[in-house]
Amino acid sequence: MKYYDFLVLGSGIAGLVFALEASKKGRVAIVTKKSLYDCNTEYAQGGIAAVLDATDSFARHCADTYEAGAELGKKEVICKIIQEGPRLMQYLIDQGTDFTRRDPNYDKRLENLSLTREGGHSHRRVAYAADSTGHQIMQALTARCRENPQIDIYENHLAIDLVTQHHVVQDEGFVPGISCWGAYALDLDKNEVILFRARKTMLATGGAAQIYAHNTNPDVATGDGMAMARLAGARLANMEFVQFHPTAFWTPSGDTFLITEALRGEGAILRLSDGTAFMESYHPMGNLAPRDIVSRAIDTELKRRGEKFCYLDATAIPADKLRTHFPYIENRLLEYGIDFTKDPIPVAPAAHYFCGGILSTIDGLTDIHNLFAAGEVACSGLHGANRLASNSLLEALVIAWRAANHPSLDEEIEFPLIPEWKRMKEFNENEWVVISHNREIIGTIMHGYVGIRRSRRLLKYALSRIENIYNEINNFYQHNAVRGEVVETRNMAIIAIAVIRSALSRRESRGAHFLIDNPQRDDIHYQTDTVI
């Protein structure tokens, strides 16, 4: 057993900011499935949205966020998070984040940051570091965490279960409610389960886009935090709203990576195979419409024409500007023989971001005492039915900082007797070989039946298939020694089921959820959250 004051599960911007702030009050353990850099923050290209220009306003950013979220977001949450943006952007700069500046020879004050515009924004308000913003943030925060003597980092450790009343023997009377006292984690190198005991636990494990065959996320995004919280008794909210990024690079082999929305912010145009620009016929903002609208427009055009991809044409943007602003994309495209200063980029939508997650407050509080959640794993009420571009890093930053400075972190906790993990010696390799392909099957089912356009008939079919898969995997999990791939596949099935059940309960189309049975929005019956 390892003893800490605070346990952080996950290593993106939310986890690292919480760890740095909480370390002022006690010892912190960061537990992450692979390396610190294996997270969605590292993959974030575009930037972080904040009101940093005198001609912009908090009111306009709030309105853009609420409108992009199909009027399902919480107005008070939206405005509080946006108002915190400038102060915490300065916090990132103070930690060492080197954003692109208007004048590189000038100091790092906020008013000198270079800003771009992305889909759904009415103003240029996205701060960035070339097209590798997340990487720059991760470099700064990782360096601060590694040099902090109050923080211990455990890489290649997969969290399996939150420690709650479910695990302890309550022989002196019942402990009411649900509390979290840490987590069990599998050391993937030694194949041993370790108990991390902590006064407070932060879930910052990111999203679950790996449940879709075509996605923009790293392999670690299997919904572990959402699944652990669900199993422990926390509520999930708005799981039907899975955002598909409109412009993921397309190849016949299925290899993909994100093409940042900032490229369209600088003037790139979506075109069909015959060169026709089409977004103006779908939305007044054209190529800078909110992501849900752009993704559906592309999906509609591709299905109408029987094609698998369209093109993102950036050739009208000055070549020097492209190379300076988007060096990562340039290098990745050149690997495939594409010079984006001369050639259009083949793109298609891919699963990208969960607007829903563990029901939580703006301070990261969840249904479970001592358990916080921040970032994509959580549903704070900011995004509503569809996330406004570059609001994700902002949300993770603000809520993680608020959680780490919440008064409850000073509480003294009385711990029950927590048992060590129940070890099983046997692992049935033959049986696992038979069912290990279920991970791929989940991705195929979700992509085919629970994607950009949905029908109730196919949703019900998908639910039946994946419930059977879950039962099969969970039965294996209960009777065999724990393995990382088993835990991940079980978690993926849990989250896939939550997405489908939420989608079936919403008989309208709103934001990232489009139901062909009910293609219109219904504000009379469904302008409310889906909570399971």
Alpha helices in 223-290 (DSSP H): 224-232, 262-265
Closest CA to 159 of 217, 232, 224: 224
Q: Residue 356, CB half-sphere, CA atoms under 13 Å: how many?
A: 27
For 489-524, b/e burial (b = at least 16 CB within 10 A) is bbbbbbbbbbbbbbbbebebbbbbbbbeebeeeeee
For 349-386, b/e burial (b = at least 16 CB within 10 A) is bbbbbbbbbbbbbbbbbbbbbbbbbbbbbbbbbbbbbb
For 186-206, b/e burial (b = at least 16 CB within 10 A) is beeeeeebbbbbbbbbbbbbb
Residue 25 CA from chain centroid, whole number: 28
Strands of the sheet with 236-237, listed across from one edge: 236-237, 357-359, 378-379
Alpha-carbon span 39 to 30, nearest angstrom: 13
**Mean pLDDT score, 311-324:** 95
User: Token pair of 40, please?
Assistant: 């969605």
Q: What is the DSSP string of 85-129?
A: HHHHHHHHHHTT----BSSTTS---GGGB-EE--TT-SS--EE-S
Domains 2-169+176-240+355-410 and 429-505 share a fold: no
φ, ψ of residue 310 to 5 degrees: the values are: -120, -165
Across the chain, what does the average pLDDT equal? 95
Q: What is the pLDDT of residues 125-161, one digit of tens each?
A: 999 998 889 999 999 999 999 999 999 999 999 999 9
Give the model's pLDDT for residue 108. Answer: 66
**Residue ranges of domains in the chain:** 2-169+176-240+355-410, 247-350, 429-505
Reply yes or no on whether the pLDDT at 86 is more than 90. yes
The SS3 assignment for 239 reads coil
User: Token pair of 101, please?
Assistant: 């500046």
**Count of Cβ atoms closer than 10 Å to residue 3 Cβ:** 13
CATH of 247-350, one of 3.30.1330.20, 3.30.1240.10, 3.40.718.10, 3.90.700.10: 3.90.700.10
Across the strands, what pairs with 185?
159, 194
Alpha-carbon span 6 to 27, nearest angstrom: 6
Reply yes or no on whether the pLDDT at 445 is more than 90. yes
| Candidates 291, 387, 454, 483; catalytic one | 291
Secondary-structure class of domain 2-169+176-240+355-410 per CATH: alpha beta
**Count of Cβ atoms closer than 10 Å to residue 317 Cβ:** 18
**Model-wide pTM > 0.75:** yes
Active site residue 291: yes
**Mean pLDDT score, 305-333:** 94
The SS3 assignment for 49 reads strand
Looking at residue 399, its amino acid is I
Helix (H) or strand (E) holding 8: strand 2-9
Question: What is the CATH topology of the domain spanning 429-505?
Answer: Methane Monooxygenase Hydroxylase; Chain G, domain 1 (1.20.58)
**Mean pLDDT score, 285-306:** 93
**Mean pLDDT score, 378-403:** 97
Helix (H) or strand (E) holding 352: strand 345-354
Q: What is the pLDDT of residues 233-281, one digit of tens each?
A: 999 999 999 999 999 999 988 888 999 988 998 999 999 999 999 999 9
Alpha-carbon span 518 to 509, nearest angstrom: 6
Separation in Å, CA 431 to CA 435, 436, 442: 7, 9, 18
Residues with Cβ within 8 Å of 51's Cβ and at least 6 positions away in sequence, in order, are 57, 58, 60, 61, 82, 85, 86, 125
pLDDT interval class at 229 (50, 70, 90): very high
CB contact at 8 A, 481 and 425: yes
Reply yes or no on whether the pLDDT at 170 is more than 80. no
Helix (H) or strand (E) holding 404: helix 392-404
pLDDT interval class at 122 (50, 70, 90): very high
Reply yes or no on whether the pLDDT at 2 is more than 90. yes
Give the model's pLDDT for residue 42. Answer: 86
Give the model's pLDDT for residue 175. Answer: 76
Q: What is the pLDDT of residues 393-404, one digit of tens each?
A: 999 999 999 999
**Count of Cβ atoms closer than 10 Å to residue 130 Cβ:** 19
Reply yes or no on whether the pLDDT at 203 is more than 90. yes
Axis crossing angle, helix 13-22 with helix 392-404, rounded to the nearest 10? 20
Between residues 224 and 423, the one the model is more confident about: 224
Alpha-carbon span 527 to 360, nearest angstrom: 19
Alpha-carbon span 366 to 203, nearest angstrom: 10
User: Worst-scoring range by mean pLDDT, 49-63, 160-174, 296-310, 353-367?
Assistant: 160-174
Residue that has been written with the tokens 């099983």 in this structure = 424
pLDDT interval class at 106 (50, 70, 90): confident
**Count of Cβ atoms closer than 10 Å to residue 96 Cβ:** 15
Closest CA to 195 of 170, 163, 167, 227: 163
Alpha-carbon span 3 to 196, nearest angstrom: 6
CB contact at 8 A, 115 and 53: yes
